[in-house]
Amino acid sequence: MGKPIHGKYYSTSEYHRAWFTGELFKEKQSFGTFARFHPEILIDQIRDLVKDPSKSTVLEIGPGNAPVSAALPFKRRIFIDRSAKIATDLKTPAALIEVTAKNLDAFKGHSSFEKIKERVNKGEPTYAGIRLDSKNTQIVVGDATALPFRKDVMHDLVVVNEVLTHVKPEERVKTLESIAALTGAILIVDRNRLPLERISHHPRFTEANRLEMERQVDFNELRKALPTNEWHVQTIEVTSEKQAYTILKAVRRK
């Protein structure tokens, strides 16, 4: 493990700082995420957590350019993103999701499905717009660590895809506690920390590895925010693009 995991730039302290300050997302989301490669998996998890979206409300934190809750007909949807540019882009008619052979099925029913399929089959880079219905969608610029929402309005679901990774490790449990206070169910996906944790004692464990580890999310620690007498929590381990991810699903006990 002497080599930085994602190449030199990603190991610089400059990149590491930008990862946590929001600097990386000022203009756009420049890298692929689990939600962009596999929206269909997360959409299935949402279907499992929310039986009837048309009677439910969802708060999606840090939707970036893969607002997965947009794929289901929620009664009311709030997106909150720290990047004003990204939030504004969500107001334009469509939010873009990358379509590949793997997630093509999730776009059945899309008005341009045949065209999308044709491009994907030819191996051309393909993005599909998910049209946001502005009548029931509210877009807010704000921070997951200081959510500007009333505590007495409960949502049916909060979605937090690859956002906690951008919250400093020591603030993650507190952030999730404040999220949990707003909802009956939670869906989180993030790169998990387990593999590195196992090797961090190795003599050749480098500073670059340590920085990478800080960007990964410790799901055992997140569970602290969701006590078992109040929440039923399930985790699913998945991999995408050679990265290990955890999907955490939590439902408040009645």
Ligand X SMILES: C[S@@+](CC[C@H](N)C(=O)[O-])C[C@H]1O[C@@H](n2cnc3c(N)ncnc32)[C@H](O)[C@@H]1O
Binding site for ligand X (CB under 6 A): 22, 25, 29, 33, 35-36, 61-64, 66, 81-83, 86, 143-145, 161-163, 166-167
Q: How far is CA 5 from CA 11, 15, 34, 210, in A?
A: 8, 14, 18, 11
Nearer to ligand X, 45 or 83 (CB): 83
Q: How far is CA 169 from CA 82, 137, 144, 164, 212, in A?
A: 18, 30, 13, 8, 12
Nearer to ligand X, 162 or 212 (CB): 162
Minimum separation from the CB atom of position 226 to ligand X (A): 19
Nearer to ligand X, 90 or 120 (CB): 90
Residues 6+ apart with CB under 8 A from 184: 154, 155, 156, 157, 251, 252
Minimum separation from the CB atom of position 202 to ligand X (A): 28
Minimum separation from the CB atom of position 184 to ligand X (A): 20
Nearer to ligand X, 146 or 254 (CB): 146
Do residues 212 and 6 touch, judged by C-beta distance below 8 A?
yes
Minimum separation from the CB atom of position 67 to ligand X (A): 7
Minimum separation from the CB atom of position 6 to ligand X (A): 14
Q: How far is CA 40 from CA 10, 13, 52, 58, in A?
A: 29, 35, 17, 17
Nearer to ligand X, 62 or 184 (CB): 62
Minimum separation from the CB atom of position 12 to ligand X (A): 18
Nearer to ligand X, 82 or 155 (CB): 82
What is the DSSP track for 44-86? HHHHHH-S-GGG-EEEEES-TT--GGGGS--SEEEEEES-HHH
CB atoms within 10 A of CB 17: 11
Nearer to ligand X, 132 or 144 (CB): 144
Cα separation of the two ends of the chain: 46
Query: Which tokens go with 121?
Result: 């089959």
Minimum separation from the CB atom of position 173 to ligand X (A): 14
What residue has token string 């990204």? Answer: 86
H/E run at residue 195: helix 194-199
- DSSP-derived 3-state class of residue 21: helix
